[in-house]
Chain A
Amino acid sequence: MDIASLTAAGLGKKIRAKEISVVEAVRASLDRIDQVEKDVHSFVTIDREGALKRAEDVQKQIDDGRLTGALAGVPVAVKDNICTKGMPTTCSSRILENFHPAFTAEAVRNLERGGAVIIGKTNMDEFAMGSTTETSYFGVTRNPWNLEHVPGGSSGGSCAAVAAEECPCALGSDTGGSIRQPSAFCGVTGIKPTYGTVSRYGLIAYGSSLDQIGPIAKDVTDCAALLEVIASRDPKDSTSIDRSIYVHRQSKGPDSQESFKGGQPAGYDFTSALVNDVTGMRIGIPRDYFGEGLDGEIKEKILAAVRVLEERGAVAEEFDLSLVPYAIPAYYVIASAEASSNLSRFDGVKYGYRTQDYEGLHDMYKRTRSEGFGEEVKRRIMLGSFVLSAGYYDAYYMKALRTKALIKQAFDQAFARYDVIVAPAAPTTALKLGHSLSDPMKMYLGDIYTVSANLAGLPGISIPVGTDSKGLPIGMQIIGDCFAEKKIIRAAYTLEQTRAYERPALAKNASKVQEHGADDRQRKEAVQRREAVQRKEAVQREGGAV
């Protein structure tokens, strides 16, 4: 059996059924990492010893019934901008090389409470600024579908790790598309939740008003399960929202057949939306998202997917979502401004890198930051500092916040009519390595379909809908109204039931090699396990306490 190819839910089930031990599950991940990491380079830190030790502990808790959740014993990778106590957290930046956080992010604590095993920290664009994972200080991550291509970004490491089956699922973060775009590029599924759904406590901020942590996995079921575990109202994050009291608004289309209607709390039971039925669901197709600039093959595959949903009972309709061209400029003003402030704490005083030679305080600041930050980060800090500076604040920052308000209104109007909106996740499939960095503007424009959801706080999911002629995956984005995760999960799940999960050749090949090597060991371990169970039963028969 190839453990690495299982989904998180599938693996969890086998672990609970005692078919696979937690140590085996973790070892399968580590073995796969050993095989493919030199090519893919998804990870910044791999915690072999910690993960194996934790696996034994989790196994005990599963055995004595303390851990019963869907993710108990499942290995998870965490993007390296999410704090983990006991593991360095670097944001893929020189300035945080060897930074050891004193606390664990709330989302990761939720994972740990659910029994997941954190196996390592994944590579990313430095401070999540970028769409290719090429701005990492620790080197690029390659796309498992084609090593010449980027995995997308900024959560490129997490998405590549899942696609290469180095772990069944991972956490990413999404400020302007950083979960959805690399998910599309790597042929996996990722959700950016409604702003406030997952605590940001422990997420190293890029654009605080836009950042959200979200799940990345091989399918919708895993994403829903993972989201169910990580989402919580956290008193440590003032912007986190209690979804159990937040009432969702009713779309005013013809009465839909959905279980999830307006007037009900948004809730945390995301897996309840794993229903293969979209009868009556109203789908909006924004014309502006399918015009010029979109790769023809992507357009074709997405519209074909919409037709599949229509066949399953959904009602699709084109409409004009206004203000699309204004989203990127508004986004870059807001995100850069917030970033310039958020990243000012990296100064060589309290943690992280400090330059060797300096004369006086300000020289220390400047050298530390100039040597510690990469080019793209500096570019955005400069832009952000400029747009906030005296005389420009109103023209840029306030203007962007007003634009944001109008974009939110445009979505409000759209969701008064549609349950979900479909969109591409990116204008192209994964580009070749080195292609984007030469022209930052071009890279920024690639975020056109994703940034609006961040500006308006909306949930979005990216799911694979096939590959292009180069054999690279195509992702479709489904955007929901705020707190309407269940609608997008339902739509994505229904679509997913119509097609099989496609694995990159790299993963398939690795599987074959791994199966050969693992066969002997697995057989041996299976015997040992059987014997252990027999011993335990024998003791129980004799009335001894276990």
Chain B
Amino acid sequence: MAKQYETVIGLEVHVELAAKTKIFCSCSTEFGGAPNTHTCPVCTGMPGSLPVLNKKVVEYAIAIGLAVNCDIARVCKFDRKNYFYPDNPQNYQISQLYLPIARNGYVEIETGDTKKKVRIHEMHMEEDAGKLIHDEWDDTSLVDYNRSGVPLVEIVSEPDMRSADEVIAYLEKLCTIIQYLGASDCKLQEGSMRADVNLSVREAGTERFGTRTEMKNLNSFKAIARAIEGERERQIELLEAGKAVIQETRRWDDNKEASYNMRSKEDAQDYRYFPEPDLVPVVISDEWIEQIRARQPELRSEKLERYKKEFDIPQYDAKIITGSRHMADIFEKASAICGKPKKVSNWLMVETMRLLKDHGMEPEEISFSPENLAKLVNLTERRMINSSVAKEVFEKIFAENVDPENYVEEHGLKMESDTGALEEVLKKVIADNPKAVEDYHGGKEKALGALVGQTMKAMKGKADPGMVNQKLREML
């Protein structure tokens, strides 16, 4: 029988922080803009320029460190990582090696029914590199330093994951936590969150780790899953063939679904770290940590606990809603206004999710206000509009954030509450449809539906189908 292998995975996750300015200069971190417009002498490595640390970056890093259960360093320092590459204007990156800002944390992940802790080895602050665009026209590369110096934290996990599912659960967990903190939008596709996968395989049951490789350039959860599968197979094949896995950095090409070695003779990977002489240490007091802790928003797990107690909604719904802080905020605000959390939850779970899916949008992109959702709930609760009208109005709310009260008024969608008028219509419908009336009396319940439909049509949809149903039975 073939040998059984276990995959051992650790992650290095880079997260771009939501600070307005770069880590060491006051250039904007905004996306877009022509090449090199968000640059200054500091982030382009001009001779004579010097870095000055952005305080907000330290505060975001502390907030994330606390949220992932790390010990926050009382003294942390920056180091230089030396390597030549054109996206790195100084040919060194300012990072933290010897005294990172946070250590020894963990997050809890869930895959299927199993819960597990993934330990975090350390987290440090560093600067991002610029962007290289390959100019196919004359086979050169063009360097844009707009992203150079954008603040990052790198979160380094222990090799605690064993499958792609666990990796994705871990990434989703980190993502939710950091989004909740408002410290980053964590978009894998746009590069504001990037994961490098360290992977090794070993025979099941053995203690010792195998030789690991590091994979870069993973831009989606799907790419990560494919890369893990591909690399696992590649390493097992090597081992089965009696060859050794070489410790190296590999670049994943998701189009070819294969990785290749990034290293050339010219990349010695000897980074010659040493303490950054241009920056002074950061000393973090208990008071500072407590201030940040006090400002920390409620995280997802805490929210879930609270929802269980406060709101009568299914656990599944609570999980979906709290999956995005933005959606949770809408839920809580709308529920507070209308007092009907269950109804609000329904709108989010059914119609909102459907429309998001139709438009290929993320929950973060929901643009309607909780006020308008609450108004819509009230309109239906007070039977001012019926459910099909409500759906129509909701689509407008979703698309344009319209005020449902005004919209219903302006478009004459309010339900007809004059029972006299309804009775007139019913009489006419009964008279015009003797066949259906006969069928109903003959025991065909279905026939009633046809009559209700006729009535609704005659009422131009502005009647309460329940009421129509009830009246119709009475009259028949």
Contact = CB atoms under 8 A, between A and B. Distances in A.
A208 B46 contact: no
B443 interface: no
A83 B50 CA distance: 13
A224 to B, nearest CB: 26
Nearest to A386: B272
Contact of B50 (A96, A207, A237, A388): A237
A208 B92 CA distance: 14
A338 B276 CA distance: 9
Contacts of B264: 362
Interface stretch (A8-16, A20-28, A389-397, A471-479): A389-397
A357 to B, nearest CB: 15
B49 interface: yes
Interface stretch (B78-86, B171-179, B317-325, B424-432): B78-86
Contacts of A341: 80, 82, 92, 272, 274
Interface in A392-422: 393, 397, 401
B47 A83 contact: yes
Interface string B91-104: 11000000000000
Contact of A83 (B48, B89, B91): B48
B48 A208 contact: no
Contacts of B84: 344, 347, 362, 365
A214 interface: no
B293 to A, nearest CB: 27
B51 interface: yes
B209 to A, nearest CB: 21
A238 B48 contact: no
Interface stretch (B194-202, B277-285, B296-304, B377-385): B277-285
B274 A103 contact: no
B266 interface: yes
B45 interface: yes
Nearest to B270: A390
B41 interface: yes
A239 B278 contact: yes
A385 interface: yes
Contacts of B49: 103, 201-202
Contacts of A200: 50
B44 interface: yes
A390 B274 CA distance: 11
Interface string A352-384: 000000000110010000000000000000000
Given A96-B47, A344-B82, A388-B274, A349 B280 contact: no
Contacts of B361: none
B148 to A, nearest CB: 11
Given A208-B278, A344-B90, A345-B91, A351 B46 contact: yes
A238 B47 contact: no
B26 to A, nearest CB: 10
A30 interface: no
B274 A337 contact: yes
B277 A209 contact: yes
Contacts of B280: 238-239
A238 B86 contact: no
A101 interface: yes
Contacts of B279: 238
Given A338-B277, A347-B84, A365-B84, A105 B48 contact: yes
A397 B41 contact: no
A202 B274 contact: no
Contacts of B415: none
Contacts of B41: 102-103
Contacts of A59: none
A83 B41 CA distance: 12
Interface string A241-269: 00000000000000000000000000000
Interface string A75-116: 000000011000001010000100101110100000000000
A237 to B, nearest CB: 5
Nearest to A338: B277
The SS class assigned to the B binding surface is loop
B262 to A, nearest CB: 14
Contact of B47 (A89, A207, A236): A89
Contacts of B273: 388, 393
Nearest to A241: B280
Contacts of A390: 270, 272
A204 interface: yes
Given A345-B47, A349-B86, A238 B80 contact: no
A434 interface: no
A391 B187 CA distance: 38
Contacts of B278: 205, 208, 238-239
Contact of B274 (A83, A201, A205, A397): A397
A82 B273 CA distance: 27
B76 to A, nearest CB: 14
B402 interface: no
Contact of B48 (A205, A207, A344): A205
A160 interface: no
B389 interface: no
Given A235-B52, A393-B272, A388 B86 contact: no
B390 interface: no
Given A204-B47, A350-B44, A350-B89, A389 B270 contact: yes
Contacts of A338: 274, 277
Contacts of A91: 47
B187 to A, nearest CB: 29
Contacts of A105: 48
A203 interface: yes
Contacts of B50: 200-201, 236-238
B408 interface: no
Nearest to A363: B266
B35 to A, nearest CB: 13
Interface string A496-514: 0000000000000000000
B98 to A, nearest CB: 10
B73 interface: no
B53 interface: yes
Contacts of A83: 47-48
Given A91-B47, A344-B91, A362-B84, 19 more contacts: A89-B47, A99-B47, A103-B49, A200-B50, A237-B52, A238-B280, A337-B274, A340-B82, A340-B272, A341-B80, A344-B92, A347-B84, A350-B46, A388-B272, A388-B273, A388-B274, A393-B272, A393-B273, A393-B274
The 8 closest A-B CB pairs, nearest first, are A388-B272, A344-B91, A208-B277, A209-B277, A362-B266, A202-B48, A204-B47, A83-B48
16 contacts: A83-B47, A99-B47, A102-B46, A103-B46, A105-B48, A205-B47, A238-B51, A238-B278, A344-B90, A349-B86, A350-B46, A350-B89, A365-B84, A389-B270, A393-B272, A397-B274
Interface of B: 41, 44-53, 80, 82, 84, 86, 89-92, 143, 264, 266, 270, 272-275, 277-280
Interface of A: 82-83, 89, 91, 96, 99, 101-103, 105, 200-205, 207-209, 235-239, 337-338, 340-341, 344-347, 349-351, 361-362, 365, 385, 388-390, 393, 397, 401
